[in-house]
Amino acid sequence: MKTILVAGGAGYIGSHMVALLLERGYEVVVADNLSTGHWQAAKGAKLRVGDLRDSAFLDRLFTEFKIDGVINFAAFSLVGESVKNPLKYYDNNVGGSISMLKAMDRHGVDKIVFSSTAAVYGEPEKQPIEETDRTEPTNPYGETKLAIEKMLKWSDGAYDIRYVALRYFNAAGSNTEVGIGEDHSPESHLIPLVLKTALGQRSHIGIFGDDYPTPDGTCVRDYIHVRDLAEAHLLALEYLDKGGKSDAFNLGSGDGYSVKEIIDTARKITGKEIPAIVEPRRDGDPSVLIASNKKAGEILGWKPLRGLQTIIADAWNWHSNHPNGY
Ligand code: UFG
């Protein structure tokens, strides 16, 4: 494997994948329509601007480069927006993946690593969540990701395209060496919002509910460093390259932290006050989401190395050096 196509490589997680692949000596081609991504984030890769739903664009790309494997990050990922505009999500997320699989089939590319999500589980049956647990998304975003996982499964049997689907829990952190990080507009994720509050860009951080059945009443999530996520994708590609069979894996740390714990840790790391105000619950938030990462450890040999302190310190490094993003 020499040349990897990273679809959505100008986005938050995709750009961290690009940085890791380049560091490890791969040639990296990025396909991104820049609708939510930033060209500056795909530094060092061969960036081709276009939409995955444009089959002529993909044909040009697979003809220009001899692609050995694909990693597909390209998707819309705002849960709330997906509830308001589900067809936008089906069109882009499912449509883009259909088009990508068809192009891979046309051009004889047989390995894909797909970015899935903990949202495929919906309201979990138990903690920590295992890959065999019930998948019943509670929003269209999670539904589109689950639909793509199923499409991948059937495509393996029909077109011999093997896949690994990686179900991310809460991605955070940055790459302080390369100088890339999280820059969403609008931003909805807890850690960047807490740090924007530390920078004085927001008056306070809202805590969405403090009456959940958790130790301090606020929601518990499993935060995973974006660099650890990228490492897992590389292991997944190598696994497929060695003939590994198609499968899905959780990517989380296995540890849970509450919203209040995140804010407290950020206060310590930034030295800022970070005013917080309890607000009503946000619709659709499960009280606890914690991954079992046993399967990724056993089969892919993945072990997350960066804990919450590093996640927040690296995110702070990015936000304090790039207060207005890219
Ligand atoms: N939260 C707040 N205040 C905020 C923002 C978030 O209290 O201003 C809370 C949320 O209620 C939640 C926690 O912080 O309890 C984390 O929220 P995020 O929005 O950062 O992340 P989510 O856990 O909601 O979402 C993540 C991924 C999604 C994925 C989802 C699966 O970012 O892509 O997990 O449930 F769909």
If you write DSSP's letter for every residue of 237-280 in order, what string do you get?
HHHHHTTPPPEEEEE--S--EEHHHHHHHHHHHH-----EEEEP
Mutate to test the pocket of ligand 1, among 78, 79, 196, 262 (most ligand atoms within 8 A of CB): 79
pLDDT for the residue numbered 194: 98
For residues 238 and 241, what is the distance between their CA atoms, to the nearest angstrom?
Answer: 5
Question: Two tokens at 53?
Answer: 């739903």
Question: Two tokens at 214?
Answer: 């958790």
Given pLDDT bands bounded at 50, 70 and 90, which one contains residue 284? confident
pLDDT digits 0-9 by tens, 193-223: 999 999 999 999 999 999 999 999 999 999 9
Please say if the pLDDT value at position 228 is more than 90: yes
What is the mean pLDDT of the segment spanning 70-82? 96
Q: Which atom of ligand 1 is nearest to the CA of 191?
A: 20
Which residue puts its alpha carbon closest to atom 5 of ligand 1?
Answer: 190
- 282 DSSP assignment: P
Whether 50 and 33 have beta carbons less than 8 Å apart is answered as yes
pLDDT for the residue numbered 1: 80
What is the mean pLDDT of the segment spanning 11-21? 98
Percent of the residues in the chain that have a pLDDT greater than 90, as a whole number: 99
Strand-pairing partners, residue 6, are 30, 71
How far is the centre of ligand 1, averaged over its atoms, from the C-alpha of 201 (Å)?
20
Which residue puts its alpha carbon closest to atom 24 of ligand 1?
Answer: 285
pLDDT for the residue numbered 277: 98
pLDDT for the residue numbered 110: 98
Whether 167 and 248 have beta carbons less than 8 Å apart is answered as yes
Q: Which atom of ligand 1 is nearest to the CA of 207?
A: 7
Given pLDDT bands bounded at 50, 70 and 90, which one contains residue 307? very high
What are the start-end ranges of the H helices in 67-189?
A: 79-84, 86-89, 95-107, 140-159
From 89, 121, 141, 163, the catalytic residue: 141
pLDDT digits 0-9 by tens, 1-14: 899 999 999 999 99
Show the ligand 1 pocket: residues with CB < 6 angstroms. 77, 79, 117-119, 141, 170, 188-190, 193, 205-208, 219, 221, 259, 282, 285, 289
Catalytic annotation present for 141: yes
The sign of the torsion formed by the CA atoms of 49, 96, 248, 257 equals positive
What is the overall mean pLDDT for the chain? Answer: 97
Mutate to test the pocket of ligand 1, among 139, 145, 259, 265 (most ligand atoms within 8 A of CB): 259
Which residue puts its alpha carbon closest to atom 15 of ligand 1?
Answer: 219
Given pLDDT bands bounded at 50, 70 and 90, which one contains residue 180? very high
Given pLDDT bands bounded at 50, 70 and 90, which one contains residue 290? very high
- Quickly tell me which residue has 């940055």 as its tokens: 174
